[in-house]
Structure 1
Amino acid sequence: MEKRHWRRIDNGGLTFTELGFGTAPLGNLYRAISDEDAAAVLDEAWETGCRYFDTAPLYGFGLAETRMNRFLRSKKRDDYVLSTKVGRLLEVCAPEDRTGIGKFFDTPSRREIYDYSYDGVMRSFEFSLERLGVDKVDILYAHDIDLFNHGSREACDARIDELMRGGYYALLSLRDQGVIKAFGVGMNEWEPAQTMAERGDFDIFLLAGRYTLLEQEALETFLPLCEARGIGIALGGPYNSGILATGPVEGAYYNYDPAPPEILDRVRKIQEVCSKHGVELREAAIRFPLLHPCVVSVIPGGQSVEQVKDNKATMSAEIPDALWSDLKSAGLMREDAPTP
């Protein structure tokens, strides 16, 4: 599998596989899977050549990190890149009070407590090390400081302020001590990511669904800023929650909700251009983000061995350069989107 070496400061940097693995599905996202099935998925991801694994306390309320524990114990620590997240503490609660009912299934009874303070970040990091069974992680992302999770611009701004007054200095300290190689923010929106990039010395952002074959508004100001500062982008959600994998079928999902008519129509037009070149929509979708120089890895998830194999096969497809040109000519891709 192709790799990309990223280095922003003088600490050696990190080498990412272009195809990473996001572990939210291993936290029983949308349906429960067994420990044995989760282990088989991780083993298959390793067999495909994947060496970048991203997780978080939120994913199954500790379950995804715990399932990673057994898998990582058989691997040499320098053979993979590992990221997890801070900003949520998990509190034991009654089953009916747990966070994520209807989203995560058969998980420990835990309630999320947002905490982007200095102590909150340090505590979250310590708990993650215990669940993962490792002595260090490579990247820490402050998790979900965005409108999608906090409900209003005012609430989002307050959380950004909380991080910049407290947790940011914990992340700086961990990086300066060499405990982590890099830190950033994992989120669903590029606008607050730009705000934080302008206010602090962030290394890498995990951006979910905001630079895809369907959406390129991040090219306006955010990605140029990242390129100028050497900030890396790990791109989650390359299929915009599903529609760029399934195509414009009935019930297709876009950003976790049923796709509206205008999105279905645009995806249909993109798919028609792809078909003319003998390319499947999902093949173009998973390759497109990697054409930008800031993107270090694309990290779709997988909840079955078959899905993991399919991700690898999809990533390996040949994409003719003319496809990108035709998408631009049809007004279906921004003219300033980097292409071969």
Structure 2
Amino acid sequence: MDIRHFDRIGNGGLDFTELGFGTAPLGNLYRAISDEEAHLVLEAAWETGSRYYDTAPLYGLGLSETRLNRFLRGKKRDDYVLSTKVGRLLKVCAPEERTGIGKFFDTPSRREVYDYTYDGVMRSFEASLERLGVDRIDILFAHDLDIFNHGSQEALQEKLDELMRSGYYALLSLRDQGVIKAFGAGVNEWQPCQWMAERGDFDLFLLAGRYTLLEQEALETFLPLCEQRGIGIVLGGPYNSGILATGAVPGAYYNYDTAPQEILNRVARIEAVCQRHGVRLIEAALRFPLKHPQVVSVIPGGQSVEQVKSNRQILDARIPAGLWAELKAEELMRQDAPTE
């Protein structure tokens, strides 16, 4: 698997495999799996060549990190890149009060408390080190600074201000001391990422679903800014929650909800172009983000061994240049989207 070396500030940097592994599904997202199943999935990801693993306290309310603990104990620390998130502290609570009921299943009884302060970042970092059982974490992402999670622009702005006023300096200190290699934010929207990039010295953003075969609005201003400042992008959600994997089928998911008709129509047109070039939609969707020079890794995740192995096969598919050209000609892709 190809490696993308990233070293923005001259501290030795990090080597990302083009295909990373997002561990939200291992936190029993949408359905519960056993510890053994989770371990087999992680081993399968390793066997495919993936060496970048992303997790977060939110994923299974600590479960994803503790499952990674078992897996990583058998690996040499220099053989992989590891990122987790800050911005949420997990508090013990009654089972009926736990975060993520109906989304995460069979998890510890914990409730999230948003905290983007200096102390909150440090406490979250220390707790993740314990759950993961490692002696260092390579990247810390401030998690879910977006309207999707905070509900309104006003509420989001309050949290962004808290981060830049306080927690940002914890991240900066950890990086400057060499405790972590890089920091950034893991977000569902590109606009807050641009706001942060304009105000701080961020290295990487984990952007979920906002630069895909279906959506390229981030090319307007955000991705050019990343190019100017050498900021890397980890691309999560390359299938826009499912529709770029399943195609425009009834009930297809887009952005965690049932896809509206206009999205179904657009995806159907994209898929028709793919078919004319002998390419599966899912293959074009996984490869497309990696065409952008700032994207260091794509992390589709997976909850079964079969899904993980399939991701590698999908990544290895050959995509003819004519496919991208026709998508642009049909105005199904932005003209300025990198495709070389």
Same structural fold, with TM-score higher than 0.5 when normalized by the shorter chain: yes
Distance 2:84 2:162 in 1: 20
**2:148 counterpart residue number:** 148
**Secondary structure of the corresponding residue to residue 199 of structure 1:** coil
1:186 counterpart = 2:189: no
Which residue in 2 is equivalent to 1:96? 96
- Give me the whole-angstrom Cα distance separating, in 2, the residues matched to 1:60 and 1:301: 14
* Paired letter, 2:311: N
1:2 aligned residue: 2
Alpha-carbon deviation of 1:10? 1.4
What pairs with 1:1-340 in structure 2 (closer than 5 Å)? 1-340=1-340
Q: Residues of 2 paired with 1:201 and 1:177: CA distance?
A: 15
Runs of 5+ unmatched residues, structure 1:
none
Secondary structure of residue in 2 paired with 1:84: strand
Q: Distance in 2 between matches of 1:337 and 1:288?
A: 9
What stretches of structure 2 of length at least 5 have no aligned partner?
none
Structure 1 segments (4+ residues) deviating >4 Å: none
- Mapped to 1, the partners of 2:193 and 2:325 lie a distance apart of 29
Give CA deviations for 1:213-252 in whole Å, capped at 9, x if unaligned: 0000000000000000000000000000000000000110
Query: C-alpha deviations, 1:255-289, integer Å up to 9, x for none?
Result: 00000000000000000000000000000000000
Deviations 1:31-66 (A, max 9, x none): 000000000000000000000000000000000000
- Aligned counterparts of 1:255 and 1:133: Cα–Cα separation in 2: 33
Residue identity opposite 2:166 in structure 1: G
The amino acid that maps onto 1:118 is: Y
Partner-residue secondary structure (3-state), 2:297? strand
The one-letter code of the counterpart of 1:285 is A
Distance in 2 (alpha carbons) for counterparts of 1:44 and 1:110: 29
Q: Match of 2:298, SS?
A: strand
- Aligned to 1:207, the other structure's residue is in SS state strand
Tell me how far 1:94 sits from its aligned partner. Answer: 0.4
Tell me the distance in 1 between the aligned counterparts of 2:127 and 2:334. 43
